[in-house]
Amino acid sequence: MPRMMTTKLAVAALVAALGLTAPLIAADEKEAPKGIAGPGAAPAKPAEAKPAGDAKPAGDAKPAEPKPAKPAEAKPAEAKPAEVKPTEAKPAADGGRVITSPGGVKITVTTEAKEAGAQAKDIVWVHYTGRLATGAQFDSSVGQAPFKLTLGEGQVIKGWDEGLVGMKIGEKRRLEIPAAMGYGERGAGEKIPPNSALVFDVEMIGIARPGEQK
């Protein structure tokens, strides 16, 4: 008798003697777990993978067409107009009193004085700076001795004879003299062309009445 059968009978007798009823199953007779092939079992067939009915081969897939993004609409910035403030008119120094002579000389008193003003026949001493209407300077006594004249005697242009009347010592004036009250059509040398309007800034330095020594 093969040794295996003898072993089985011995085990069966031992079980009966102990009162055991549970059957013993040989290790090689146990059922192999499902999914695991036992010795000598036919190899399992791999499951056939079926493609999904809706799946299309990759070769037939078309890439999505990219849609160009719409550029953002740039809105022009609204320019706000600058606030224009009106220019404040400032009076000339010390009141800026303006006088117009009978001949049309515009006299702006830039510095007032309290003494009695110069009159015709008075001898006066002045400092002056003369300019054309363009602003070009053509003469000045500043830095030199004051200019001396007798007022109203025709020693100077008519604009001066009228523009200096009533001027006080220490007073300053600006004389805006039309061409007819200046050098007229003849002009004066190379610096003062014919028919030139003239502007003089004048300061009264001194006054002497007729018969007085100065």
Q: What residues act catalytically?
A: 128, 138-139, 157, 183, 200
Start-to-end CA span in the chain (Å)? 176
Measured CA to CA, the distance from residue 89 to residue 92 in angstroms comes to 9
- Give buried/exposed letters for 21-43 (b at 16+ CB in 10 A, else e): eeeeeeeeeeeeeeeeeeeeeee
> Residues 6 or more apart from 162 whose CB is under 8 A from it?
101, 102, 103, 105, 181
Which residue in 4, 22, 20, 213 sits closest to 123, CA to CA? 213
Length of the chain: 214
Q: How far apart are CA 70 and CA 93, in angstroms?
A: 67
Residue among 173, 163, 181 at smallest CA distance from 202: 173
Contact 125, 108 (CB under 8 A): no
Our CA dihedral for 189, 194, 196, 202, rounded to 10 degrees, sits at: 30
